[in-house]
């Protein structure tokens, strides 16, 4: 019995030690791009803490219909003006073969956007054709669009090449609501009303604000898109109450084709539904999930051999 006991316990001790070693192997993603919007200009990536593949410091193209987009103490400062005025930054770098977009793979790529502050000076009006927009006066539309989308204005309104977006609607009463939407290349280029061809409402949510009922949103909010070549998962660093749909799912074959060529970020700020306000984006970061480390694969093989040896030892006992 003593010998049998030792035969059984020694393999388990070896397995436990190996599991501890494997558990210490990092699984954090590798940051391949980071812009804190604190460099020489908004469209370059040459500030402190910046990470950018290649030697070209260009990182974004800017544009818009009214107002201004400048670099300040809060990062990228959007003041698009009232009505439906808008300003945007569209990324121009990446890790695909052309270096102009971010390739998606089976292990996952995380795109994180941190909104620093938002101030709403005038409420707009709720729109029945845009879910959960309520009375928002200012909107951030944070999205990843197909690399086939034009640089001119790649937001959901004009983009007919596919993309996935988070809308954040802010009002003067401290209400932050939003939705997750997806488009594909069957979209006809018209306005992005719910139910239109190529427009898909994936989820609606509310993010309670710790500051209460105020027109100033001073708690930074980070939105992360975890995308693979076949699906998505969206998360926030604050609690989000999902009222409909889901923040995760799979892409259809058409959506996989649209996004399979790679994606570019599009970060848009807009006066919503004839409202007005301003907001800052503090950071945009891209990280790729690592392939399984060699030591991990070797460990799995060792575990398998150990388990075979364990079964043989027990059978002999």
Confidence of residue 155 (pLDDT cuts 50, 70, 90): low
Instruction: Clarify whether residues 246 and 163 are in a common domain.
Output: yes
Confidence of residue 242 (pLDDT cuts 50, 70, 90): very high
Instruction: Clarify whether residues 111 and 170 are in a common domain.
Output: yes
Reply yes or no on whether the pLDDT at 154 is more than 70. Answer: no
pLDDT at 4: 42
Tokens, residue 116: 């620093």
Instruction: Clarify whether residues 168 and 50 are in a common domain.
Output: yes
The predicted model scores a pTM of 0.83
Instruction: Clarify whether residues 160 and 305 are in a common domain.
Output: no
Instruction: Clarify whether residues 192 and 311 are in a common domain.
Output: no
Identify the burial level of 246 via C-beta atoms within 10 angstroms of its C-beta, where 0-12 means exposed, 13-18 middle and 19 or more buried.
exposed
- Rounded to an integer, what distance in angstroms lies between the CA atom of residue 279 and that of residue 221? 12
Identify the burial level of 179 via C-beta atoms within 10 angstroms of its C-beta, where 0-12 means exposed, 13-18 middle and 19 or more buried.
buried
Domain of 100, in residue numbers: 28-291
- Rounded to an integer, what distance in angstroms lies between the CA atom of residue 23 and that of residue 37? 35
Reply yes or no on whether the pLDDT at 76 is more than 70. Answer: yes
Confidence of residue 209 (pLDDT cuts 50, 70, 90): confident
**Is 130 in contact with 179 (CB distance < 8 Å)?**
yes
- Rounded to an integer, what distance in angstroms lies between the CA atom of residue 39 and that of residue 50? 9
Query: What total of structural domains would you count in the chain?
Result: 2
pLDDT at 151: 66
For 19-23, 48-52, 138-142, which range has the lowest pLDDT when averaged over its residues? 19-23
pLDDT at 130: 86
Instruction: Clarify whether residues 106 and 203 are in a common domain.
Output: yes
Confidence of residue 302 (pLDDT cuts 50, 70, 90): very low
Q: In terms of DSSP H, where are the helices of 31-73?
A: none
Task: Report the mean per-residue pLDDT for the chain.
Answer: 83
Instruction: Clarify whether residues 227 and 275 are in a common domain.
Output: yes
pLDDT tens digits, 49-71:
999 877 778 899 999 999 999 99
Instruction: Report the CATH number at residue 252.
Output: 2.60.120.200
Confidence of residue 189 (pLDDT cuts 50, 70, 90): confident
Instruction: Clarify whether residues 134 and 233 are in a common domain.
Output: yes
């Amino acid at each position: 019995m003593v010998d049998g006991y030792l035969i059984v316990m020694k393999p388990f001790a070896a397995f436990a030690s190996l599991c501890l070693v494997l558990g210490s192997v990092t699984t954090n993603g590798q940051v391949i791009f980071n812009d804190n919007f604190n460099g020489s200009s908004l469209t370059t990536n040459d500030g402190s803490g910046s990470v950018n593949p290649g030697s070209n410091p260009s990182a974004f193209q800017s544009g818009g219909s009214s107002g201004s987009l400048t670099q300040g103490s809060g990062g990228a400062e959007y003041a698009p003006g009232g009505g439906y005025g808008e300003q945007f930054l569209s990324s121009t770098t990446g890790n695909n073969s052309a270096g102009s977009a971010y390739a998606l793979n089976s292990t996952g790529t995380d795109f994180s956007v941190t909104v620093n502050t938002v101030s709403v000076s005038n409420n707009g009006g709720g729109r029945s054709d845009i879910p959960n927009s309520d009375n928002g006066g200012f909107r951030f539309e944070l999205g990843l669009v197909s690399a086939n989308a034009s640089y001119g204005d790649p937001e959901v309104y004009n983009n007919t090449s596919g993309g996935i977006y988070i809308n954040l609607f802010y009002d003067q009463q401290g209400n932050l609501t939003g939705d997750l939407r997806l488009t594909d290349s069957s979209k006809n280029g018209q306005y992005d009303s719910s139910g239109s061809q190529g427009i898909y409402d994936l989820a609606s949510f509310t993010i309670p604000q710790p500051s209460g009922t105020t027109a100033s949103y001073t708690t930074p909010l980070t939105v992360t898109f975890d995308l693979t070549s076949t699906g998505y998962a969206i998360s926030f660093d604050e609690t989000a109450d999902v009222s409909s749909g889901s923040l995760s799912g799979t892409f259809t074959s058409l959506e996989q084709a649209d996004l399979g060529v790679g994606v570019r970020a599009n970060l848009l700020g807009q006066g919503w539904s004839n409202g007005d306000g301003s907001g800052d984006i503090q950071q945009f970061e891209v990280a790729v999930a690592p392939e399984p480390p060699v030591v991990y694969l070797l460990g799995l093989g060792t575990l398998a051999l150990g388990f075979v040896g364990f079964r043989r030892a027990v059978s002999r006992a």
